[in-house]
A and B are shown apart, each in its own frame.
Chain A
Amino acid sequence: MFKYISIRFCLLFLLLMSQSTYSATTLVAVAANFSKPMTEIAAGFEKATGHSANLSFGSTGKFVSQMENGGPFEILLAADEKSPEKLIQDGFAVSGSQFIYAVGKLVLWSATPGYVDDKGGILSSGDFTHLALADPKLAPYGAAAIEVLNGLKLQEKLLPLIVQSESIAQAYQFISTGNAELGFVALSQVIDNGKITSGSAWIVPAELHAPIKQAVVLLNNGAENPAAKALLVYLKSAPALEIIKKYGYDLAQ
């Protein structure tokens, strides 16, 4: 009887062991704007490859700062092109591993239906008291928003009304709770299957700001991890691209 049980345990043990040799886990830092699509992509990735991805969401700036100080992440999906390049230059990421996985779209959004018109005229005519955007120093979407205000020559008028959040996720939080009447967020935060899910929005035309090219990079920590490499490959696969498009991103040309 004992023998039988111990053999079963041995088999179970071997089974678990073999699992762990073939499937690995990778730790991924994800720019806040990409949290929804990445959650879906990670689920598909786990099903398709048996590897798993642990996702951490935050501002690109924070992740760069953490990586420069010994952060544990293996992949960074940034909200810009500059940050991955900087990490490579500073010797924290694998040179040549970076590519653009999505081109982001900026949107002026309000939780109130009918508040934002489809030309963004509210910016010059509105009598709102708070305009939320992510800190332009830390978040590329915040920098793009400032560029739009400058281009529309509205910076002078709107500067006193700006409330800054530390990431695009917090900008969404300020607006969705109604504390800021409107603000700039990523299209991916307010879209589902090609439709704005709630409130009202103006998708800012691409010519009003430099394209938000979002690059991914393999960090030194993940250079030897099969799961990290597999995830970079999976990001270019048809199912992943489908999800990226679904959330309103353009794909890199």
Chain B
Amino acid sequence: MLSSADLDTLLLTFKVAGIATTIMLLIGTPLAWWLSRTNSSLKGVINAIVALPLVLPPTVLGFYLLVLMGPTGIIGQFTHWLGIEALPFTFYGLVVGSVLYSMPFVVQPLQSAFAMVGKQSLEAAATLRASPLDSFFSVVMPLAKPGFITAAILGFTHTVGEFGVVLMIGGNIPNKTRVVSVQIYNHVEALEYTDAHWLAGCLLLFSFTVLLVLYSQFKSPPMAQQFK
């Protein structure tokens, strides 16, 4: 069975993923909207930066975060100036890492959903004197709902599966930074295969169920939608 320590890691993981997903949706929505509408020359650069975590090894991200968020790093000095403790080894450090790491999984589905909302519906809304903000909430958001669902689910599950970044900046502290992927790794290294099986099985079941729901809702794979 799952020990209470293992349960704690599951709960903590879902907490990190929940908070990170909320933040990613809050930042990602305006960003994706801007990316889907703009003709700015910056578009390519921003797109590339958002997509970077897709191709970078998590260890690269983890290493930079450890150095930058540490007491001598730029971010570390900024948080010190704000009077906050340095981010590595803290819960919010993990949240920051997760937001950076999973951002493309939120921004890209949103971006393609927004791109599919035609100009006509927005122009129709404008002729009915809807303000841009009003038409975003009452026209764009309902039309892009599948995009939001995909973004939230992919962002959440990808954060649950995060390992490399956490290993580099986490410090393996119970109830603060000891997430489920690290716990499984430690069980395996300590040859505690029974515990590892329980946790790994839970994660497998969770991921499969989520993806099953997602894929039976939308007939085509969510990540493929953006290439249409």
Q: Which residues of A contact B (CB under 8 A)?
A: 59, 61-62, 64-65, 68, 129-130, 132, 135, 137-138, 162-166, 173-174, 177-180
Contact = CB atoms under 8 A, between A and B. Distances in A.
Interface of B: 66-67, 69-73, 76, 85-86, 88-89, 167, 171-173, 185-186, 188-191
A68 to B, nearest CB: 7
A76 B132 CA distance: 66
Nearest to B86: A179
Given A173-B66, A178-B71, A62 B171 contact: no
Contact of A164 (B71, B76, B172, B188): B172
A164 B85 contact: no
A12 B22 CA distance: 65
Contact of A165 (B171, B185, B188, B189): B171
Contacts of A65: 188-191
A163 B173 contact: yes
Contact of A130 (B73, B76, B171, B188): B171
A177 B189 contact: no
A59 B70 contact: no
Given A135-B172, A178-B71, A166 B189 contact: yes
Nearest to A90: B191
A164 B190 contact: no
A171 B167 CA distance: 12
A179 B66 contact: yes
Contacts of B188: 65
B70 A137 contact: no
A132 B70 CA distance: 14
Prevailing SS type, chain B contact patch: loop
Given A61-B190, A137-B186, A179-B66, A165 B172 contact: yes
B171 A166 contact: no
A166 B168 CA distance: 9
A180 B88 CA distance: 9
A177 B67 contact: yes
A174 B167 CA distance: 11
A59 B172 CA distance: 15
Given A163-B89, A166-B172, 6 more contacts: A65-B191, A130-B89, A162-B173, A163-B171, A166-B167, A174-B66
B152 to A, nearest CB: 31
Contacts of B72: 177-178
A68 B89 contact: no
- The 3 tightest CB contacts between A and B, nearest first, are A163-B171, A164-B172, A178-B71
Contacts of B69: 179
Contacts of B76: 178
Given A130-B89, A163-B89, A179-B71, A174 B189 contact: no
A167 to B, nearest CB: 10
Contacts of B71: 178-179
A62 B189 contact: yes
A164 B183 CA distance: 12
A129 B88 CA distance: 12
Contact of A177 (B70, B167, B186): B70
8 contacts: A65-B189, A65-B190, A68-B191, A132-B171, A138-B190, A163-B89, A166-B185, A179-B69
B191 A64 contact: yes
Contacts of A174: 66, 88-89, 171
B89 A179 contact: yes
Contacts of A178: 70-72, 76
A179 B65 CA distance: 11
A177 B190 contact: no
Nearest to B68: A177
Contacts of A59: 189
A180 B86 CA distance: 10
Nearest to B85: A129
Contacts of A132: 171
Contacts of B190: 61, 65, 137-138
Given A163-B172, A178-B70, A138 B89 contact: no
Contacts of A135: 172, 186
Contacts of B186: 135, 137-138, 166
